[in-house]
Structure 1
Amino acid sequence: MADSSFDVVVVGAGPGGYVTAIRAAQLGMKTAVVEANHLGGICLNWGCIPTKALLRSAEIYHYMKNAKAYGLSAEKVDFDLEAIVKRSRQVSSQLNKGVGGLLKKNKVTIFDGWGKLAGGTGGARKVTVEKDGKVSDTLTAKHVILATGARARELPGLEADGKLVWTYKDALVPKEMPKSLLVIGSGAIGIEFASFFNTLGAKVTVVEVMDRVLPVEDEEISAFAKKSFEKQGMTIMAGATVKGLKKSANNVTVTVEQGGKSQEIIVDRVISAVGIVGNVENIGLEGTKIKVDRTHVEIDEWCETGEKGIYAIGDLAGPPWLAHKAEHEGVICVEKIAGLKDVHPLNIRNIPGCTYCHPQVASVGLTEKAAKEAGYDIKVGRFPFIGNGKAIALGEPEGLIKSIFDAKTGELLGAHMIGAEVTELIQGYGIAKTLETTEAELMHTVFPHPTLSEMMHESVLDAFDRVIHM
């Protein structure tokens, strides 16, 4: 058992943890990262990346089935589920190895095991590393950054069994294609899986307890998404609650209550996607001044907890539960520790959110409703995909781009999109918000033609009654 001293020890090597460790090392700090499972964490191994690989396969399958619309011919179009899953796992494996290479390149020491706070004060914080039930190493650090992430929430009576009732992990590696599927929850995770299985031919039902699908999105975008999903054959049940599951040998009878009425729906499989809970257990929080609120660690604007010298980032520190939020928090945290002057607290209004369903959904900043509730006098611009030449040429004429401005100052308050490739387009608005751009700068910006990005320009123009192509 070795006793090693570091400037920074990061517990958890997910997207937040490994990026934090690399940045700390770049800043000249002797850095270690402790990881019990996979480098890259849930995002790389069981979340963001493998789901996108699955969705890409489904997207190509969709285009192959609709080849005739593009003047092409494709006969006997089919898919191999095992091969789709294998490709997804290979993508994750490749990136997992890449993370290891990046950490090694930046001279970050990797400890394989379970990291746990073990006391100490000031510049002598201790972290134990447990492997196979035994403490393999004890690390001492001036600063400890907790990046232990989160896991799927399970509701009483709706627990996953890996066979008939799946979590996101089970849904990533299906052994056979279900003919029918019910998804509990219509957030990003639930809708992405609903989109994947629906595109491959499953009869999909989505049950959402809130009054609309994708409830964190702008109401107008949610309504557009619902119509699109239903047009594709999905059944969307908003304002509904799953009251129980009755399993048989090969299917599940789901009791759903909606509008005061109850009904039973029989499906092959159920996916539970009802949120996440922070991994706060068994990481040594007991006896510290660290406060936990609803499974998430409370932090200040620099990610420091109530215990000096201990920090928390990413999903462990609360919403929004996004990999890019975790990465940015980690960078802010270590740059502040290093004493850099040009460090700014994270503004969650400037964090884009993306959902990779079909059609894609992306947003940044305030929704129209939130802007009004915050007291802003607003101007709203909209532009439909059907008015854009590139969208029509791509065969993707369904979609909408919406921008929201402060009527008094011209500040960009929010942007909301649904349609092809909007998860790539949204960063344009993300940059605009970080630069505190007003409508004037966006209007004066030259957008290339023909591109989908022109719709962003037109949406801005529309907010100020200057739209050209509508």
Structure 2
Amino acid sequence: MSENSTDVIVIGGGTGGYSTALRAAHLGLDVTLVERDLVGGTCLHRGCVPSKAMLHAAELVDGVAEARERWGVKATLEGVDWPALTATRDDIVSRNHRGVEGQLSRAGVTVVRGTATLTGPRGVRVTDAGSTGGAGVQGWTARRGIVLATGSRPRTLPGLEPDGQHVVTSDDALFAPGLPKSVLVLGGGAIGVEYASFHRSMGAEVTLVEAAERLLPLEDEDVSRQLTRALKKRGITVLTGARMLDAHRVDARRADARRVDAATGGGPGIEARVRPARGAETVIAAERLLVAVGRVPVTDGLGLAAAGLTTDARGYVPPADLSTLSTAVPGLHVVGDLLPPPSLGLAHASFAEGLLVAETLAGLPSRPVDYAAVPRVTYSSPQTASVGLSEAEARAAGYEVAANVMPLTATAKGMVHGQGGMVKAVAERGAQGRVLGVHLVGPHVSEMIAESQLAVAWDASPADIAQHVHPHPTLSEAVGETFLTLAGRGLHQHA
């Protein structure tokens, strides 16, 4: 086994890993990045980037219907060329991948292909996936530290292991063959909602099942309410407070496949027994089951024990110091999906974590990640975007709360879009009370949340924001109007 030495070893080349590697290299450190698959990780190759590319295509499909039904444009949709659509998606992913590889190369990061196993607090063994015996095995020692960034994988259900076609997860749903005619989505968090939205736009009959009492249960209740109303209006069946009792594959060759055939137009599928919050138990037949019930950290084979680390009960690797993301073992840091809450398991949070850890390893002062000011976005139609505390969270934290909701349809641009939606602001009561949270629902609100992020992070008051003029007519002026009202200067809206 060859022996090598470097300043920093990063295990995992996803968003958290490669951002750590890039920043550390830019600071003059010798960096080795170990990745057993493709740099960019889940976000680039199976999650954020390809899914948002597909959701953009879905938005174009929806636009044809809106043009015809709302604007009098004589437009028709001839169909979706699935191979052409996926080729565009794959080209976007490929170009991003080449870009990340080029950045790592230009920064001088050594990228090693293989599986990394910790051999101690500063040691790593890397095994080439294709090696046999001792061939292709390298030993590495980190002079400054090791960064764990191995990410997460979708949680699966016992007895319903993904097959890439009829039972899928968020990792493979977009790569399953063709477009199904019916989909059962299990899980009403951001991932489940996005995939339900995509498949509905593409013409599928969609049932969305969530065990909690509302969709996006971690968001403000008004966000959940507005989103649920919009999805139902689009024809998605939403069952909240519902449990899937069991599910099984149905083979078209069997007699009991007739019910599935009627729902899907033929072919094998899935039958699931679901108990809704109200009403009788029901059987849902669908061509495809998408399991979106969360993700679990990937630590299999990482050799944590050899380095003196353990996971918590949920499989996370908890940091001993949240301000530096260092573990209880000196020189070992953790970023990304391996971190427990308050980390958010979001790609943009991982970028911030990577910057923090790289600067810490370089001996530079760096501000801890302010997770309360990290935006959360669901890219469905309509979108949701939030930052800071919900109204319920603010009240539970002991704040005297002033909250205001402004419908987007109260603005001219909101009427133009015609999709409904809202801006909700949550602030401390009083003239100089801080903005505690902002919650948006509507078209393209993912592009509007940055202003509110600054308001929350910089402890702005509604009056601070109200003094700044927002362009008219835009959706963003609803943000300005919401804070004008809270500041006692309501123009088109009064408290």
TM-score by length of 2: 0.91
| 2:292 corresponds to 1:268 | no
Identity %: 37
Deviation at 1:309, TM superposition (A): 0.5
- Farther-moved stretch of structure 1 (97-106 vs 380-389): 380-389
- State whether residues 65 and 77 of structure 1, in contact with CA within 8 Å, keep that contact through their aligned partners in structure 2: no
Match of 1:59 in 2: 59
The CA deviation string for residues 73-128 of structure 1, in whole angstroms up to 9 with x for no partner, is 22343211222222212211111111000001111111011122111x5xxx1111
The Cα offsets for residues 343-375 of structure 1, whole Å up to 9 and x where unpaired, read as: 211121111000000000010010000000000
Q: What is the match of residue 129 of structure 1?
A: 126
Deviation string, structure 1 residues 224-263 (Cα, Å, up to 9, x no partner): 1111100000000000111111211211110111237421
Asked if 1:303 is matched to 2:325, the reply is: yes
- Residues 177-192 of structure 1: matches in 2 within 5 Å? 177-192=179-194
Contact residue 291 and residue 305 of structure 1 kept, 8 A: no
**Alignment map for 1:110-125 (pairs within 5 Å):** 110-119=111-120, 121=121, 125=122
Distance across 2 between alignment mates of 1:457 and 1:133? 60
**Is 2:382–2:442's contact at 8 Å kept on the other side of the alignment?**
yes
Instruction: Decide whether the 8 Å contact of 2:382 with 2:419 is kept in 1.
Output: no
Distance 2:303 2:222 in 1: 44
Aligned with residue 405 of structure 1, among 427, 432, 440? 427
Counterpart-to-counterpart distance in 2, 1:203 and 1:76: 18
Which residue number in structure 1 is paired with residue 37 of structure 2? Answer: 37
Aligned residue for 1:378? 401
What are the within-5 Å matches in structure 2 for residues 20-419 of structure 1? 20-68=20-68, 69-119=70-120, 121=121, 125-131=122-128, 132-133=130-131, 135-141=136-142, 142-249=144-251, 250-259=268-277, 261-293=280-312, 294-299=314-319, 300-301=321-322, 302-318=324-340, 319-341=343-365, 343-393=366-416, 395-408=417-430, 409-419=432-442
The letter for the 2-side match of 1:325 is A
The whole-number CA distance in structure 2 between the counterparts of 1:371 and 1:411 is 11
Task: State the one-letter code of the partner of 2:47.
Answer: G
| Structure 1 residues 133 and 152, CA gap change in structure 2 (3 angstroms) | farther
2:255 equivalent in structure 1: none
Which amino acid in 2 is paired with 1:306? A
Cα shift at 1:336: 1.9
Q: Is the 8 A contact 1:184 1:271 kept in 2?
A: yes
In the alignment, which residue of structure 1 is the partner of 2:259?
none
Does the 8 A contact of 1:49 with 1:92 survive in 2? Answer: yes
| CA contact 2:64–2:77 (8 Å) conserved in 1 | no
Structure-2 separation of matches of 1:417 and 1:320? 19
Deviations 1:375-419 (A, max 9, x none): 0001112211112222333x2351100011011441110010000
Distance of 1:225 and 1:199 partners within structure 2: 15
* Runs of 4+ with deviation above 3 angstroms: none
For 1:3, the aligned partner's letter is: E
* SS in structure 1 of the partner of residue 126 of structure 2: strand
* Matched-pair contact (CA < 8 Å) for 1:228–1:359: yes
1:437 and 1:460 map into 2 onto residues whose CA distance is 11
Gaps of 5+ in 2: 252-267
Q: What residue identity is the alignment partner of 2:103?
A: L
Asked whether the 8 Å contact 1:157–1:244 carries over to 2, the reply is no
- Residue 382 of structure 1 contacts residue 462 of structure 1 at CA under 8 Å; is this kept in 2? no
CA distance in 2, matches of 1:289, 1:138: 18
AA matched with 2:438: A
Q: Is 1:81–1:176's contact at 8 Å kept on the other side of the alignment?
A: yes
The Cα shift of 1:450 comes to 2.4
Q: Secondary structure at the match of 1:74?
A: coil
Residue 262 (structure 2) aligns with: none
In structure 2, C-alpha distance between the alignment counterparts of 1:392 and 1:439, rounded to whole Å: 25
CA RMSD of aligned residues (A): 1.5
Offset of 1:280 from its aligned partner? 1.3
Per-residue CA distance 1:264-316 (angstroms, 9 max, x = gap)? 11111100000000001111101333231111100121111111111110101
Q: Which runs of 5+ in 1 are unaligned?
A: none
**Contact 2:463 / 2:483 at 8 angstroms: preserved in 1?**
no
Q: Deviations over 1:127-176 (max 9, x none)?
A: 11111255532111120000000000112233322221111122111312
How far residue 22 of structure 1 moved from its aligned partner, in angstroms, is: 0.4
C-alpha distance in 2, partners of 1:350/1:107?
A: 32
- Letter of the 1:163 partner, please give it: Q
Q: Does the CA contact (< 8 Å) of 1:402 and 1:416 recur in 2?
A: yes
Q: Which moved more, 1:145-154 or 1:127-136?
A: 127-136
1-side partners of 2:48 and 2:77: how far apart?
31
- Quote the offset at 1:71 in angstroms: 4.3
Secondary structure of the 1:292 match is coil
